[in-house]
Structure 1
Amino acid sequence: MRLLRPANIITSITDVLAGISLSGIFFIDHSTVALDTIVLLCVSTIGLYGGGIVFNDVFDAALDKIERPERPIPSGIIPIQRAFILGTVFFVMGVIAAFLVNFTAGYLAVFIVLTALLYNKWGKHHAMLGPPNMGLCRGLNLLLGVSILPNQVIAMWYVALVPILYIGAITLISRGEVSGSTKKPLLVAAVLYAIVIAAIGSLANHNQHFFLTVTTLLIFAWMVYRPLWKAIKNSSGKNIREAVRAGILSLIVMNAGWALASGVFLLAAIMLLMLPLSRWLGRFFAVT
């Protein structure tokens, strides 16, 4: 559980639910919305995110011995070979569950595995490549939800740009988790957050669901900007970690915003109910 970071996995489930909302499937034919398909997509993202987060620790094992010796692998609680097997099992589970939905979902799942491994092995060590690489994993995860209607993936590819920007911003901030940061990446992140809020608000306005969505986006803005402002004033490692943690858990509210902007209020409510659970799990298991 420590390796898998369950609080984070919940945020990945809301990515998929947001993508399903954006696909428009609920407004085409309610009879086509099969619960087992939604469950399979959720199982898929659990596998893909879980595998990615485990391999993050596998590839970082040597560095964590120095910077984060309390983590399961460097502390000796879990041998690196077992972590490798766990990550592989989760990746396979994620890919198989996606292919059981349709081939488009399956191919997206394979691409997510590749982009996650690329980030874990090389991307995170590159100043320019790292943030968009990590963001691409989340953007594809959103499209994994959209793939419940395969023909909508190409038509709606652009929605993936929003999580790419948002997660890119969080990844940019996270580089100061250990030793602190300069103010520049934090200010860049503040601008990227604003673009994300504007993009979802614009969709809500277009779909005539502005009021409820903007109310949710204001809560989202408060959740991400409050710790970010604290980190800007004092860019210590502790404040950076809090800003990153808030950014990750706030994904649930952002994804609820996507659902509200799409007019799928039930899924938005389900996602918002997941927030207390994710925050509670975040008290016991690492988020960053």
Structure 2
Amino acid sequence: MKTILAHIQLMRPANIITAIADVLAGFAVSGAAVQLFSAENPESGALFYQLLWLILATIGLYGGGIVFNDVFDAELDKKERPERPIPSGGASVLSASILASLLLIVGIAAAFQASLFSGIIAIIIAILAILYDSWGKHQLIFGPINMGLCRGGNLLLGVSAIPSVIQDFWFLALIPVIYIAAITMISRGEVHGGNKKALLGGAAMYVIIILALTFLGFVSKIPWWQVIPFVLLLTYFIFPPLSRAITKQEPQLIGKAVKAGVISLIVLNAALSSAFAGWIYGIIVLLLLPVSMGIAKKFAVT
């Protein structure tokens, strides 16, 4: 049981819930969410099964990518984070590598069940994830961008439910790219503290995200009052812990700011979803938040 729990911990299950929210948001952007709940749409059943395949795909892709992160960090974690599953002996580099590989294979295979285009996107996500784990995260500039591209690709994975829509809304993938880049910058002081410039840089990118979502709320076909409450909720979740981290620059506070940012991905996706499918669908996505927060009490997020 200890070994099983260690491998589940490697997968960061609370974070996987946020990846599911990415796909649900992309599904809304594509217009498939509106079609799914349309009583007159004969394709609703097919869209539902397609969504299930995409959810399974993102579980595999995110899980595999995050497990490989610990595999590549095994030696470093012996010094900085000995409590993690691999350095603590709960899992081995070999067992973690096998798990990560199987997860990525399942993710890619599931994506191909949804569509050929979804499968291609899944392969790109897997490559980006391994690139980040093995090399990208050590790069000052490209690292945050690399991680952001993984999340942007995850959003597009949801949009690929209707492939033709991607050419019209591909730029929306920049929202999770910038958001994740912000979290990645903030996390650089998580072990040793300090790094105020990175914290301020992350805060600046958060502001860009809030402004972008607000703009989207006012220009989309959905009434603005269905979108803005989600944007305000996102602001409430991410800025207070980041403000405390900037003030004291202590590792523990920075860790809390990172955790808040990761969990709040669900709120971001709820805001994005509401702009394309209305507040009810936004609430459906937001319901993943207490699930993720509950799991986060049992398993590490960062």
TM-score w.r.t. the length of structure 1 is: 0.97
In the other structure, the counterpart of 1:239 is: 253
- State how far apart, in whole Å, the 1-side matches of 2:19 and 2:33 are: 21
- State how far apart, in whole Å, the 2-side matches of 1:26 and 1:10 are: 18
- State how far apart, in whole Å, the 2-side matches of 1:56 and 1:90 are: 13
C-alpha deviations, 1:135-184, integer Å up to 9, x for none?
Answer: 00000000000000011122211011111000000000111110012221
1:183 and 2:196 aligned:
yes
Q: CA deviation at 1:209?
A: 2.4
Give the secondary-structure state (helix, strand or coil) at the position aligned to 2:297: coil
- State how far apart, in whole Å, the 2-side matches of 1:179 and 1:27 are: 46
- State how far apart, in whole Å, the 2-side matches of 1:60 and 1:188 are: 25
In the other structure, the counterpart of 2:26 is: 19
Give the secondary-structure state (helix, strand or coil) at the position aligned to 1:285: coil
- State how far apart, in whole Å, the 2-side matches of 1:32 and 1:184 are: 50
- Where do 1:198-213 residues align within 5 Å? 198-207=211-220, 208-213=222-227
In the other structure, the counterpart of 1:66 is: 79
Q: CA deviation at 1:215?
A: 1.0
Pick which of 74-83 and 18-27 moved more.
18-27
In the other structure, the counterpart of 1:261 is: 275
TM-score w.r.t. the length of structure 2 is: 0.93
- State how far apart, in whole Å, the 2-side matches of 1:32 and 1:265 are: 23
Check whether the contact 1:12–1:49 (CA below 8 A) recurs between aligned residues.
yes
C-alpha deviations, 1:102-136, integer Å up to 9, x for none?
Answer: 11100000000000000000000010110000000
In the other structure, the counterpart of 2:292 is: 278
In the other structure, the counterpart of 1:55 is: 68
- State how far apart, in whole Å, the 2-side matches of 1:164 and 1:205 are: 22
Could you tell me which runs of 5 or more consecutive residues in structure 2 were left unpaired when the two chains were aligned. Answer: 1-7
- Matched to 2:164, the amino acid is N
- State how far apart, in whole Å, the 2-side matches of 1:267 and 1:87 are: 32
Could you tell me which runs of 5 or more consecutive residues in structure 1 were left unpaired when the two chains were aligned. Answer: none
C-alpha deviations, 1:15-52, integer Å up to 9, x for none?
Answer: 00000001122456733342111111000000000000
Of 161, 177, 192, the match for 2:174: 161
Q: CA deviation at 1:191?
A: 1.4
In the other structure, the counterpart of 1:226 is: 240
- State how far apart, in whole Å, the 2-side matches of 1:35 and 1:129 are: 36
- State how far apart, in whole Å, the 1-side matches of 2:275 and 2:207 are: 17
Check whether the contact 1:44–1:95 (CA below 8 A) recurs between aligned residues.
yes
Give the secondary-structure state (helix, strand or coil) at the position aligned to 2:287: helix
- State how far apart, in whole Å, the 2-side matches of 1:188 and 1:137 are: 20
Q: CA deviation at 1:272?
A: 1.2
- Quote the sequence identity (%): 47
In the other structure, the counterpart of 1:32 is: 43
- State how far apart, in whole Å, the 1-side matches of 2:142 and 2:264 are: 24
Check whether the contact 1:26–1:264 (CA below 8 A) recurs between aligned residues.
no
Check whether the contact 2:188–2:195 (CA below 8 A) recurs between aligned residues.
no
1:135 and 2:135 aligned:
no
Check whether the contact 1:209–1:260 (CA below 8 A) recurs between aligned residues.
no
Of 217, 242, 250, the match for 2:264: 250
- State how far apart, in whole Å, the 2-side matches of 1:198 and 1:142 are: 19
- Matched to 1:211, the amino acid is W
- State how far apart, in whole Å, the 1-side matches of 2:214 and 2:27 are: 18
- State how far apart, in whole Å, the 1-side matches of 2:131 and 2:230 are: 34
In the other structure, the counterpart of 2:5 is: none
Give the secondary-structure state (helix, strand or coil) at the position aligned to 1:31: coil
- State how far apart, in whole Å, the 2-side matches of 1:268 and 1:51 are: 27
